[in-house]
Amino acid sequence: MPTIPHLTLNNGVEMPALGFGVFQTPPEETRTAVEAALDAGYRHIDTAAAYGNEREVGEAVAKSGLDVFLETKIWISDYGYDQTLHGFDKSAAKLGVEQIDLLLLHQALPSDFARTREAYRALERLLADGKVRAIGVSNFMVDHLTALLDRATVVPAVNQIEVHPYFAQREVQDFGAEHGILTQAWSPIGGITFYRDSGHTSTLQDPVIGEIARAYGRTPAQVMLRWHLQQGRSAIPKSTNPARIAENLAVTDFALTAEQLAAIDALDTGKRGGPEPDAVTLEAFGRAIPEA
Ligand code: A2P
């Protein structure tokens, strides 16, 4: 079983660099997928209140008896100080834990940033109370991070954003690095690009990535995950296929050269696959997160 490197967060907490992602994994498939991931050696799972599968993640982890780093996210509909404290209660109960390892705000609410700040203040409270081991954000752009840091007392440990070879968000990564905020890549192998309507190839068929993969006898997915690890990022590849789940973890026994890393950096199209962070509003994206 591969040994996964750890990253140390800005408050000293250690986190396995590769986590198993379950975005869009239906609840009925989540338990089996998480079991396969734990069998393959993952010890870090990334979920979110909005994914609707926290309970199944918790069940698979509890059944395994393993010590697993659990990361989840508060949805925008639960922003506000008291609401976010209650959001923690809901997520912890569904996950079946007393303490969550890493709790993130899922999105900034640029049109109601005061509410975003209140939600973050609740995360700071949860951290002070020992209910979470680390706190952070997701999909925060530089202006959102700047506005948050203006009042925050705790610097977010993590900013989970879309990062893959076709969309690297360098400026957000650089801002994070300057402030001690670890970038964690969602859609790390570019899954979000597989369905894009443009004529562009998907990252899995990219000729540059393909050539590097052939040179090492590896797959394009493994090359992209190496790229993340060697550039110091956390990444949360998702899959529901046991062979690919294991494949995505078998990335610790080869290394890309500086030229190969640069060749992958050069593939950035600047085109976002996911929703535009500034377009996230309660009106457009709000939906109630069920009680535990
Ligand atoms: P599947 O669940 O059938 O494996 P991302 O995390 O970058 O968004 O990518 C997720 C997508 O990539 C899913 O469609 C997943 O499908 C697919 N996928 C995951 N791992 C691999 C892999 N090693 N090779 C090819 N496709 C993969």
Q: Is residue 196's pLDDT more than 80?
A: no
- To test the pocket of ligand 1, the residue of 161, 244, 248, 249 to mutate (highest count of ligand atoms within 8 Å of its CB) is 244
**Mean pLDDT taken over the chain:** 96
pLDDT of residue 195: 60
Q: Is residue 99's pLDDT more than 60?
A: yes
Which of the four pLDDT bands, split at 50, 70 and 90, describes residue 104?
Answer: very high
In 3-state terms the chain splits into helix, strand, coil percentages (rounded to 5) of: 45, 15, 40
What residue spans of the chain are helical by DSSP H? 27-40, 54-64, 81-95, 113-128, 142-151, 170-179, 207-216, 220-230, 242-247, 258-265, 282-285
pLDDT tens for residues 35-67?
A: 999 999 999 999 999 999 999 999 999 999 999
- To test the pocket of ligand 1, the residue of 45, 160, 167, 189 to mutate (highest count of ligand atoms within 8 Å of its CB) is 189
Q: At what angle do helices 220-230 and 258-265 cross, to 10 degrees?
A: 100
pLDDT tens for residues 218-273?
A: 999 999 999 999 999 999 999 999 999 999 999 999 999 999 999 999 999 999 99
Joined tokens for residue 8: 């140390």
- Give percent above pLDDT 70 in the chain: 98
pLDDT of residue 45: 98
Residue 66 phi/psi, 5-degree rounding, is: -85, 160
| Predicted model pTM | 0.97
Mean per-residue pLDDT for 3-18?
A: 97
| CB of 188 closer than 6 angstroms to any ligand 1 atom | yes
Nearest CA to ligand 1 atom 10: 191
pLDDT of residue 3: 85
The CATH superfamily of 12-198+232-239 is: NADP-dependent oxidoreductase domain (3.20.20.100)
Q: Is residue 197's pLDDT more than 90?
A: no
Q: Is residue 194's pLDDT more than 80?
A: no
Q: Is residue 198's pLDDT more than 60?
A: no
Query: Domains of the chain: which residue ranges?
Result: 12-198+232-239
d(CA 271, CA 238): 21
pLDDT tens for residues 153-162?
A: 999 999 999 9
pLDDT of residue 160: 98
